[in-house]
Amino acid sequence: MEPLRYLTGFDNEHETEALPGALPLGRFSPQKVAYGLYAEQFSSTAFTAPRAHNRRTWLYRIRPSAQQGDYAAYAGATLTRTGPITEQTPVPNMLRWSPLPIPTQAQDFIDGLVTLAANGDAGVQVGIGIHLYLINQSMQDRFFYNADGELLFVPQQGKLRLHTECGLLDIGPGDIAVIPRGMKFRVVLLEASARGYVCENYGAAFTLPERGPVGANGYANDRDFQYPVAAYEDREGEFELVCKYGGHFFSADIGHSPLDVVAWTGNSAPYKYELARFNVINTVSFDHPDPSIFTVISSPSDTPGVANCDFVIFPPRWMVADNTFRPPWYHRNIMSEFMGLIHGVYDAKEKGFEPGGASLHNCMSPHGPEAEVFEKASQADLKPQRYDNTLAFMFESRYAITPTRFAMTTEARQLDYVKCWDKLKKNFNA
């Protein structure tokens, strides 16, 4: 399969047309659009949001989005939840889950989204939902959009093609992709099945964090974010459009593919990023810096420096710190930390935290390396060491994260997780 072509540059004012001359020049809404297309503005921020934060895209499409049936309640997606989670009390316990298997019963992305936790309230555009997708079917004649937030995909197993209104993105383990709130898409499997994590961001759209004194380069570089070129479907039939709105799923009949955008211009569009391109910056002297140095993208809250959600990775890197306990320190954090593992082994947990698994350390819940890792790291010869075969990530949020009832009751939950710290010895020798 030919690799797809992409436009590059985070948050750029991109423009792309699948037919020559489809994109109006010099204005957005001419009296007649080329090829008999309809112009439609897709606004991802308030009209009056400051220029630096404003996101919108003009779509030139075969039919306007308004041409669809009425919504009725949708009966699938039985394990998807939306913040606030009320079916379960908040849980201060340290929690961990083994990987969930991909079921044998047929399920596509809409029905295969299992919510592990959420915080905030989608209705007031605060917080996140944390899901796993476990899928073995492509979406062919049905389409989805999420009015409750943008969707950050973190694939763990299996390649996917995201066919969106703006075009195609191919992603697999080691990549991430973000689809804006409200954008219609279908998820096509490029392998028999796929599993991954999704962070549903109810808050301000993910953006690149500041670099501060690091300067003009480093971390996630703007140029490495890839956007689709326009690619439209001109298909008619008895199709279904499903949406999640206010935490509920709805379905509407639609007589054509809504992925019928022939040209678009703007800065609100889906994008992908290869995590291997992250320029890792870390200490070359001593001590273990805060993991904020590994932030790829961040959804800010109204308080500067305090994120609605940071997406942080723990990628392959050199470790050179002198006279330092190199793994993460023991800590308690006002921010709540959900972690997943894409592949390999995470330095703080060599056992029990598996690819496809997850952990949750909520606001002020203590955690850190398991006993064996502490022993080893306290004795290690501190020569430069390459951390290979590792790719963990964290969704870190200022709001405490409530697990779903499913997350608390699934067999995949490791009820003995806290025992990983039992064998820490009393070494006090005053």
Ligand X SMILES: O=C(O)Cc1cc(O)ccc1O
* Residues known to be catalytic: 288
Q: Which is nearer to Fe ion, 265 or 362 (CB)?
A: 362
Two structure tokens written together for 266 = 């703007």
Residue 348 binds ligand X (CB under 6 A):
yes
Residue 337 binds ligand X (CB under 6 A):
yes
Select the binding partner of residue 291 from Fe ion, ligand X, none (C-beta < 5 to 8 A, by kind).
ligand X
| Residue in 132, 220, 313, 394 binding ligand X, rule: CB under 6 A | 394
For residue 283, what are the CA distances in angstroms to 20, 259, 394? 50, 46, 20
Residue 291 binds ligand X (CB under 6 A):
yes
Residue 344 binds ligand X (CB under 6 A):
no
Q: Which is nearer to ligand X, 99 or 182 (CB)?
A: 99
Q: Which is nearer to ligand X, 236 or 388 (CB)?
A: 388
Least Å distance, CB 296 to ligand X, is: 14
Report the alpha-carbon distance of residue 84 to residue 410 in Å, rounded: 20
**Count of beta carbons in the 10 Å neighbourhood of residue 219:** 18
Tell me, by CB under 6 A, how many residues bind ligand X. Answer: 9
Least Å distance, CB 73 to ligand X, is: 40
Q: What is the per-residue DSSP string for 16-39?
A: EESSTT-S-SS-SS-SS-GGGPEE
Residue 170 binds ligand X (CB under 6 A):
no
Diameter over CA atoms, the chain: 84
Select the binding partner of residue 186 from ligand X, Fe ion, none (C-beta < 5 to 8 A, by kind).
none
Residue 209 CB contacts under 8 Å (≥ 6 apart), including other chains: 219, 292, 295, 297, 298, 310
Tell me, by CB under 5 A, how many residues bind Fe ion. Answer: 1
User: Are 342 and 158 within 8 A, CB to CB?
Assistant: no
Residue 150 binds Fe ion (CB under 5 A):
no
Q: Which is nearer to Fe ion, 15 or 354 (CB)?
A: 354
User: Are 185 and 94 within 8 A, CB to CB?
Assistant: no
Residue 367 binds ligand X (CB under 6 A):
yes
User: Are 283 and 321 within 8 A, CB to CB?
Assistant: yes
Two structure tokens written together for 423 = 């064998």
Q: Is 53 annotated as a binding residue?
A: no
Residue 328 binds ligand X (CB under 6 A):
yes
Q: Which is nearer to Fe ion, 81 or 349 (CB)?
A: 349
User: Are 194 and 133 within 8 A, CB to CB?
Assistant: yes
For residue 264, what are the CA distances in angstroms to 210, 273, 320? 29, 21, 47
Two structure tokens written together for 111 = 């029905």
For residue 366, what are the CA distances in angstroms to 233, 336, 376, 401? 51, 11, 20, 15
Least Å distance, CB 39 to ligand X, is: 46
Q: Which is nearer to ligand X, 231 or 394 (CB)?
A: 394
Least Å distance, CB 368 to ligand X, is: 7
User: Are 159 and 170 within 8 A, CB to CB?
Assistant: yes
Residue 170 binds Fe ion (CB under 5 A):
no
Residue 370 binds Fe ion (CB under 5 A):
no
Q: What is the per-residue DSSP string for 299-357?
A: EE-SSTT-EEEEEEEE-SEEE--BSS--SPPPB--SSEEEEEEEEE-BTTBSSS--TT-
Select the binding partner of residue 394 from Fe ion, ligand X, none (C-beta < 5 to 8 A, by kind).
ligand X
Residue 9 binds ligand X (CB under 6 A):
no
User: To which residue do tokens 């670099």 refer?
Assistant: 211
| Residue in 108, 200, 310, 337 binding Fe ion, rule: CB under 5 A | 337
For residue 371, what are the CA distances in angstroms to 97, 277, 321, 352? 19, 33, 21, 13
Least Å distance, CB 413 to Fe ion, is: 19
Least Å distance, CB 285 to ligand X, is: 16
User: To which residue do tokens 């099945």 refer?
Assistant: 193
Q: Which is nearer to Fe ion, 334 or 430 (CB)?
A: 334
* Residue ranges at the known binding site for homogentisate: 367
Which residue positions form the known binding site? 367
Residues making contact with Fe ion (CB under 5 A): 337
For ligand X, the binding residues (CB under 6 A) are: 288, 291, 328, 331, 337, 348, 361, 367, 394
